[in-house]
Amino acid sequence: MDDILTLVIPAYNESTSLEANLPAWLDMCSRESWRLIVVDDGSTDGSEKVLASHASHPRLTAYRHRANRGYGNALKTGLYHVDTPFAVTLDADGQHRLEDVTRLLEAMQAQDADLVVGARVVNDTSGAYRRLGKCLIRLIARMLFPVRIQDLNSGFKLYRTDLVRRLIPWCPGSMAFSDVITLMHLNLDLRVVEVPVETRPRQGGRSTISTMTAVETLVEIVNVVMGLRPLKIFLPVAVVLLLVGVGWAVPFLLAGRGMSGAAMLLILTGLLTAMLGLLAEQLAAFRRVDLPDAGAHRVTPD
């Protein structure tokens, strides 16, 4: 079917990569009847000129932010303008192979998935430092969510357009978008599958990912949990405080020395934390993302 898929590529100071890859991307889109949306996120290296030189191509639509607004906001701009049933996001640095887009689409249709993640488990070109950071983020996410995804923050994802549009208002405009949008799908018990993909080394430009990016991502993950499932944070803290407080108090009580002040403080703090968690859970129930028809498809006659 024509016009079934749109590639969405955010670009910030990626003129070298755009010059090298844009013709190949457009050629692939012409052959496969795909569309291409590139969002220039306020680049200062001439990326806008590269896009302008190809703007007449019938398969390309380019947008530009007047100022740098962040990776997530660039994706949001692109996804808001998609009008095909499916949308796939890729990084502008040329690390992803367009041949894998077809594999992601086949997996979504074969498994009736709501999100397909291109997992960088084959020839991951990210450095050891970044791989360590991804492992830590995945570990913390698993402690807070029932995460079964290996490459949580992969930028190579295939979405159902109607569904992702309803979820992106809840996602941050930063680099944490990739992690949070996956967690939102998982929180709604939607079907998320992974397809192993091979990545290539960055083709020009410089990565903007840093240690601060990882910190911001962890903060956003905690924000998601606090907004949707606050008891997952409050309850463990309350239990630890209560157990420590009771453990502290028992020796004093057995010795007939009454209740220790420190033990009483720990127990009261634990009880207050539990009560705050229950209150937060009540508030979260009013603002929790709830899409009753998410993941539901009409059954048609054979």
Those residues with Cβ within 8 angstroms of residue 126's Cβ, 6 or more apart along the chain or in another chain: 120, 134, 199
Torsions phi, psi of 262, nearest 5? -65, -40
Instruction: Name the H helices within 81-127.
Output: 99-111
Contact at 8 Å (CB) between 13 and 43? yes
Residues of the chain with pLDDT under 70: 1-2, 122-147, 202-214, 217-218, 220-221, 227, 286-293, 295-302
C-alpha span between 42 and 61 (Å, rounded)? 16
DSSP notation for 30-90: HHHT-EEEEEE-S-SSSHHHHHHHTTT-TTEEEEE-SS---HHHHHHHHHHT--SSEEEE-
How do residues 26-53 score in pLDDT, each as one tens digit? 999 999 999 999 999 999 999 999 999 9
What does the chain come to in residues? 302
pLDDT score of 1: 46
